[in-house]
Amino acid sequence: MQRPKVDDNLILLADFGKTEAICVEVLDNPATEEGILLKVMTRGRFEQGQQVWIVDRDGSKVGATVENILKQTIDSEVTLSTVLPA
C-alpha cells in the first residue's frame, strides 16, 4: 500500500462493517519512526483505541488504530495511526 494523499478515497473495515473515507490530511507520526497519521472524513461508530483495517485497491489490508475522533454532523473526522509496509 502506498502512502495516501489528500482527497484519496479509502475503504475502512471495522467491527460494524465497511465504510468509505476521504483522506483530509497525512502527517508523519512522531511516536513511531515509520508511522503515519491519517485524518479522514467518514461515517460510522468509531471509538478511540479501536482497531480497523485500511483496505487497498488490490484487496490487501493494513491495520490502523483510531487515535482521535472529532464529530461533525453525520460525518466524523477520525485520526488513524498506522505503519505502511515498505
At 29-40, the pLDDT tens digits run 888 888 999 999
Assess if residue 42 is contained within a domain.
Answer: yes
Query: Which helix (H) or strand (E) element contains residue 47?
Result: none
pLDDT band at 51; cut points 50, 70, 90: very high
Assess if residue 84 is contained within a domain.
Answer: no
| Cα–Cα distance, 82 to 72 (Å, whole number) | 23
Assess if residue 27 is contained within a domain.
Answer: yes
What is the domain extent for residue 54? 9-78
Any idea what DSSP says for residue 29?
-
The pLDDT of residue 86 is 62
Q: What total number of domains does the chain contain?
A: 1
Assess if residue 30 is contained within a domain.
Answer: yes
Assess if residue 29 is contained within a domain.
Answer: yes
60-85, pLDDT tens digit by residue? 999 999 999 998 778 899 999 999 87
Query: Residue type for 69, please?
Result: I
